[in-house]
Amino acid sequence: MSIFRLFIKVINISPDENFSLKSAEIRKNKDVTIRPMKLEEFDRVAEIYLNGFRNKYVYLVGEKYLQTAQNLYIKHLKSDKNIRNGHYVAMVNNEIKGICRIRTFKDPENIFTFDIFKSLLTLPILSLFKALFSLLTVDYIERCEKNEGYVDILAVDNTYRGKGIGQSLLSRADEECYKRGCTKISLLVVLSNFRARRLYEKHGYVPTKLYLGRRIFLFGTEVNNANEIIGFFKMEKNLEALQN
């Protein structure tokens, strides 16, 4: 049993065999193009990322250090080719309006590099601890199983939400993961993120696991939750239907 089970409760959700989600009706927005991120786009990508997950970073480093967190993210992107290559951008009128990261079981994840650790040392001591705890748990719960793909940090510029950009990014993630030999794709979503959950369900994802834990281990976007217990759903989608 992993040591993380002492801090995080994991509940498996058995799929209902008779339940079929229509992952149809995917609205294609023809004004949106999805492509891999280019090197010169680090700043804009980090900006969308920090805006999309602002609450999480306010909790982690406080308002005062948001810019530092953004700079750390850029540094992280610059230093790790594997992470960088997994970033995709959604373009509307030649401008980046959405982002996501796609990775598969074939892409090794190395969260604890010396560089990252050195950068974390620039944060206040409490933030450093929070960051270390959450990196450890994220490393544990985001590990891909064999033939699994994973979509992460999906975020859309807040003035462009509700226009199908999130759906286009998810469709691209399906295609990329399928091409790279994955039979399923998964993601994590905070329980209270109803908008994102609705988007994923519509796209054919179903919840397969529930993670519950103290906020310091599972920092997410939930705020002021009683007892600071927060939860994430792991949601999965079968990619085998893409064969047809």
Ligand X SMILES: CC(C)(COP(=O)(O)OP(=O)(O)OC[C@H]1O[C@@H](n2cnc3c(N)ncnc32)[C@H](O)[C@@H]1OP(=O)(O)O)[C@@H](O)C(=O)NCCC(=O)NCCS
Tell me the β-bridge partners of 34: 90
Name which position in 147, 193, 208, 238 contacts ligand X (CB under 6 A): 193
Determine, following the binding rule CB under 6 A, whether residue 220 of this chain makes contact with ligand X. no
Determine, following the binding rule CB under 6 A, whether residue 206 of this chain makes contact with ligand X. no
Other beta carbons within 10 angstroms of residue 94's beta carbon come to 6
Tell me the β-bridge partners of 207: 235
Determine, following the binding rule CB under 6 A, whether residue 28 of this chain makes contact with ligand X. no
CB of 148: closest distance to ligand X in angstroms? 17
119 versus 184: smaller Cβ distance to ligand X? 184
Determine, following the binding rule CB under 6 A, whether residue 204 of this chain makes contact with ligand X. no
Determine, following the binding rule CB under 6 A, whether residue 32 of this chain makes contact with ligand X. no
Name which position in 23, 37, 52, 178 contacts ligand X (CB under 6 A): 52
119 versus 222: smaller Cβ distance to ligand X? 222
Determine, following the binding rule CB under 6 A, whether residue 44 of this chain makes contact with ligand X. no
Determine, following the binding rule CB under 6 A, whether residue 72 of this chain makes contact with ligand X. no
115 versus 201: smaller Cβ distance to ligand X? 201
CB of 203: closest distance to ligand X in angstroms? 8
CA dist 98 and 89 (Å) reads 6
Determine, following the binding rule CB under 6 A, whether residue 166 of this chain makes contact with ligand X. yes
CB of 17: closest distance to ligand X in angstroms? 25
54-61 and 66-79 helices cross at what angle (nearest 10)? 110
Kindly provide the b/e burial profile for residues 121-130, where b requires at least 16 CB atoms within 10 angstroms of the residue's own CB: eebeeebbeb
Determine, following the binding rule CB under 6 A, whether residue 202 of this chain makes contact with ligand X. yes
Residues that bind ligand X (CB under 6 A): 27, 52, 154-156, 161-167, 189, 193, 195-196, 198-199, 202
